[in-house]
Structure 1
Amino acid sequence: MRCLCFVLILFRGCFGMGLWETIFGPALGDGISIQNMVMNFGYKLTEHEVISETGNILVLHKIRSKRRNFRNGSHTPAVLIQHGLLGASDNWFLRGPEKDLPFLLSDAGYDVWLSNMRGNVYSRRHITLNPDSSSSYWNFGLHEIGYYDLPAIIDYILDKSEQESLFYMGHSIGSTIALILCSLRPEYNKKILLHLALAPIAFVTHKPKMFHKMVFSVFPFVEQSVQSRNIHEVFPRRKYFSRLIEYLCQDGTYFQKLCLMFILNFVGVDYDQFNATLIPNFAKYYPAGTSLCMASNLYQLFTTGIFTAMDFQNKSENLLHYRTEIPPSYNLSNVVHPVTLHYSDGDYLVTKDDIDMLAEKLPNVKDKLKIPYPSFNHLDFMWAINSKKLLYDQLLLLLNKYLEN
């Protein structure tokens, strides 16, 4: 109840400034640049641009370790890390080399690449369309990213790395798009050595929590209201939004506990592994923006429980996107590359039942691995205080073991 009251207080304040224009629409945050975040610790970072088949300009970030103890051989194994919903590549660099996954992988001798989904703060460009004025730019969901963008990213990395395949780490929908790609373009299976799926969203078999029911119940109204204002971009990185969160959620404020309750009621309650002191810093980088269409895509996925492409509720629109009037289901029997499924009991968005259903559909699941901490939630895969011990050390062991074999 307190969490609901907090949401209403925020909404009331936003209405005074224009609710949808406050939450949605283009703007950048004022956090430290990703270059400084990485280079301040002595690592090198380079930025790469990839143009997908649909003309989207996608940004990749690559880091190199300050250490020189790379693996023997002419090539360093490539690892692609793909963020989840509303994320960006810089979300993985908020805590430093001793805790953040890309630093740990780089220090272990891997060639680390981080991708940005179309529409976020880094990949918000197109060769012909203007995201600020073209509604067509924002007409994408998981299907378009998986079918058009991800193959271009993988091919670019393999070309630059002079390798035939890479390791893939996807968090949440970051794994979903790889499943979509390899179900529709099976030839890409041979380009993925091992897919480490961190809380992948596919089949939703669990019953929604009360907070999720509340969000799902108001979503159609919000979607219609936003569309009526000709707004197509949702939850971009905004300076004043992060400052509002900083004001409300900083140490010593009355609202900090309510901020934490709001976050944890959505992703899973884990007070011990989430550092509330860092909420203002996280808010400078998250959320990083996506399309309203993507939000609708996720709404359909969670409310139907079926792993299919988004239904545009219009036969002509479906024909335009899929060349069929009915959105296609994803044939996961085509996804033959090796997969390890990582999940936790404390995750409200992806449960063990969801993982079990996905494992039944995938033909080459090497293991289902539960995080050895009962309250580990959906955001803990990125930001848990003990994420290195609870997860990242295991991921490194899996990669090393795979190379040894």
Structure 2
Amino acid sequence: MVPMLLKFIQFNISSLLLNVFIYPSVSSVIIENLPPPENPFFAKEQKLLNPFRTTLNQALTCGQLIASRGFQFERHFVTTVDGYILQFQRIINPYAKAARGRSLKPILVIHGAPTSCSSFMINGPGGHIQEWINGNPPNDTSKSLAFALANREFDVWLGNNRGTTYSLNHTSLNPYKDRQFWDFTFVDMAMYDIPAMVDYMIQETGHEKIVWIGYSQGAILMPVLLAKYPEFAHKLDLNINVAPIAFYGDPNGIANLVPRARFLLKIASIYQGPVIPFLPVLDAITSILCTSNILNPICFEIYNYLFGPDRPMVSRDQIKELLSQVDQTSFKNALHVLQSINFDQIREYDYGPLKNLQLYGSIEPPVFPFENIPTYNLVLISGLNDYLAPPKNVQKLRNILRGPPLVDYVVPWPLWSHTDILLADEAFYLMHNVIIEIIRKYGEDIEVSL
């Protein structure tokens, strides 16, 4: 009875909102010559969204986005020590493969939350595969990071952390029936997901090391892992962190208004599941509504005051694409983020004084010792107008490190915001090209002095 009621509510809310808010229109964007969606959540969203689609990238799956630019792709799966089955999308560039073979530098790119691998492929219609001339990569200037890398001498792997719609499998737990499936935070991703992905890539590619690129939540994971296990850095040619978040206190904008009280712990004890229920319906509705002439300016301003306003660099049209690609994470993970804002320096999950004492031996959850992070292959990339990783928080990370990073790049554009790597018009010149040149200059084995 309850499932039928939920479906009835979803259907009627969808119909009501579409009829009330959307100006009459028929989509002129048709999905042609693309493989079927490999993700059932986004397959449902596409059915809802297709009549109102205004751009190709809206709600396409990672595989469809890759194919839409002329690349091929492979899906790979790896099982973590604690039983989560994670999915990679590996971009295959036949031109690069023919020119360089297995010598292509393997790169693992990890998304922020709540998104997935798709977030690195939705910036503009460009980024199509290009031929190599005389064994040399093309001078592609794609605004999407994944395609800018894939058109060059790199073997690009796009990871998906546990709980996203691409990584919803487990060896024994059912995400729809077992609450324990959702009993995780970014600490579990750091300790289990990242080692599993990196080790799998090393085995699959035959390289001794890979290049890591973590963005937003992805830039939390590697610092947390290395704070506890600094020796893991030996598996990385480069440890690139974009919008690094080791200190979360004092964010700007809307994030600073989010409640952080302990009563949220009670909610977590009652509800243990995904933070965004009815995901396909929600994504479709928000993407469609934020396309309308009435609501688009409101959506754009909310976006600006959440991530940092960069109106000259990010267009209103991009917001609907980002909204159509919102993905899942656990409620517990979202709560851990709120706790981190309260504590400033990221700590273990706060269960409350009694359970903390049992688990950690202290009333307060212990901080992660970020001073342990090796700096010989560490790359920090940050922005001056990033509301979630503001300059003062990035400076706290610099201050705690035992030495300067190998590269510490601050984007010179004064309005560079948290999501500009995903949506900015000049993302290639201010971000992607910088990353490419850093990898080319420092991406080989670095001599380490211990």
TM-score normalised to the size of structure 2? 0.77
- Let me know the Cα RMSD of the aligned residues: 2.7
Question: For residues 351 and 174 of structure 1, what CA distance do their matches in structure 2 show?
Answer: 16
Asked whether the equivalents of residues 61 and 113 of structure 1 are also in contact (C-alpha less than 8 Å), the reply is yes
How far is 1:353 from its partner? 1.4
* Partner of residue 214 from structure 1, selected from 248, 251, 257: 257
1:233 equivalent to 2:274? Answer yes
| Residue of structure 2 in register with 1:67 after alignment | 95
* Partner of residue 276 from structure 1, selected from 293, 305, 316: 316
| Residue of structure 1 in register with 2:389 after alignment | 350
Residues 11-47 of structure 1, C-alpha deviation per residue, up to 9 Å, x if partnerless? xx99x96xxxxxxxx9553322322211122211101
| Residue of structure 1 in register with 2:159 after alignment | 115
How far is 1:171 from its partner? 0.4
Asked whether the equivalents of residues 110 and 215 of structure 2 are also in contact (C-alpha less than 8 Å), the reply is yes
* Partner of residue 380 from structure 2, selected from 334, 338, 341: 341
Which residue identity does 1:90 align to in structure 2?
S
Cα distance change, pair 242–341 in 1 and its aligned pair in 2 (3 A)? same
1:297 equivalent to 2:332? Answer no
How far is 1:66 from its partner? 4.3
Asked whether the equivalents of residues 186 and 335 of structure 1 are also in contact (C-alpha less than 8 Å), the reply is yes
Q: State the SS of the aligned residue for 2:258.
A: helix
| Residue of structure 2 in register with 1:193 after alignment | 237
Asked whether the equivalents of residues 253 and 308 of structure 2 are also in contact (C-alpha less than 8 Å), the reply is no
Cα distance change, pair 276–224 in 1 and its aligned pair in 2 (3 A)? farther
Structure 1: stretches of 5+ with no match in the other structure: 1-12, 18-25
Deviating more after overlay: 182-191 vs 116-125: 182-191
Report percent identity of matched pairs: 23
* Partner of residue 311 from structure 1, selected from 335, 338, 350: 350
Q: State the SS of the aligned residue for 1:146.
A: helix
| Residue of structure 1 in register with 2:168 after alignment | 124
Q: Number of matched residues?
A: 379
Q: State the SS of the aligned residue for 1:369.
A: strand
How far is 1:204 from its partner? 3.0
Question: For residues 242 and 352 of structure 1, what CA distance do their matches in structure 2 show?
Answer: 31
Residues 337-375 of structure 1, C-alpha deviation per residue, up to 9 Å, x if partnerless? 511111111111111111111112233511321112111
| Residue of structure 1 in register with 2:64 after alignment | 36
Aligned ranges for residues 3-402 of structure 1 at < 5 Å?
28=42, 29-30=45-46, 31-68=59-96, 72=100, 74-95=102-123, 96-97=126-127, 98-205=142-249, 207-209=250-252, 211-216=254-259, 224=266, 228=270, 230-235=271-276, 238-251=279-292, 253-286=293-326, 288-313=327-352, 315-316=354-355, 319=358, 327-336=365-374, 337-363=376-402, 365-402=405-442
Question: For residues 165 and 388 of structure 1, what CA distance do their matches in structure 2 show?
Answer: 25
Q: State the SS of the aligned residue for 1:290.
A: coil
How far is 1:327 from its partner? 3.1
Cα distance change, pair 397–237 in 1 and its aligned pair in 2 (3 A)? farther
Asked whether the equivalents of residues 141 and 293 of structure 1 are also in contact (C-alpha less than 8 Å), the reply is yes
Q: State the SS of the aligned residue for 2:365.
A: coil
Asked whether the equivalents of residues 70 and 109 of structure 1 are also in contact (C-alpha less than 8 Å), the reply is no
Question: For residues 70 and 315 of structure 1, what CA distance do their matches in structure 2 show?
Answer: 59
Q: State the SS of the aligned residue for 2:214.
A: strand
Asked whether the equivalents of residues 117 and 145 of structure 1 are also in contact (C-alpha less than 8 Å), the reply is yes
Q: State the SS of the aligned residue for 2:96.
A: coil
Deviating more after overlay: 29-38 vs 82-91: 29-38
Question: For residues 289 and 236 of structure 1, what CA distance do their matches in structure 2 show?
Answer: 8
Cα distance change, pair 315–62 in 1 and its aligned pair in 2 (3 A)? farther
Cα distance change, pair 180–213 in 1 and its aligned pair in 2 (3 A)? closer
Asked whether the equivalents of residues 381 and 410 of structure 2 are also in contact (C-alpha less than 8 Å), the reply is yes
Question: For residues 318 and 268 of structure 1, what CA distance do their matches in structure 2 show?
Answer: 38
Asked whether the equivalents of residues 86 and 162 of structure 2 are also in contact (C-alpha less than 8 Å), the reply is yes
How far is 1:307 from its partner? 2.0
TM-score normalised to the size of structure 1? 0.86
Residues 136-162 of structure 1, C-alpha deviation per residue, up to 9 Å, x if partnerless? 111111211111111011000000011
Residues 321-345 of structure 1, C-alpha deviation per residue, up to 9 Å, x if partnerless? x687753322223321511111111
Which residue identity does 1:37 align to in structure 2?
L
Cα distance change, pair 226–249 in 1 and its aligned pair in 2 (3 A)? farther
Structure showing greater radius of gyration is: 2
Cα distance change, pair 73–131 in 1 and its aligned pair in 2 (3 A)? closer
Which residue identity does 1:147 align to in structure 2?
M
Q: State the SS of the aligned residue for 1:396.
A: helix
Residues 363-404 of structure 1, C-alpha deviation per residue, up to 9 Å, x if partnerless? 351132111211111111221111001111111010111147
Residues 231-268 of structure 1, C-alpha deviation per residue, up to 9 Å, x if partnerless? 521125722212322332115x2111100111111100
Q: State the SS of the aligned residue for 1:50.
A: strand
Cα distance change, pair 390–70 in 1 and its aligned pair in 2 (3 A)? farther
| Residue of structure 2 in register with 1:23 after alignment | none
Cα distance change, pair 48–237 in 1 and its aligned pair in 2 (3 A)? farther
How far is 1:291 from its partner? 0.5
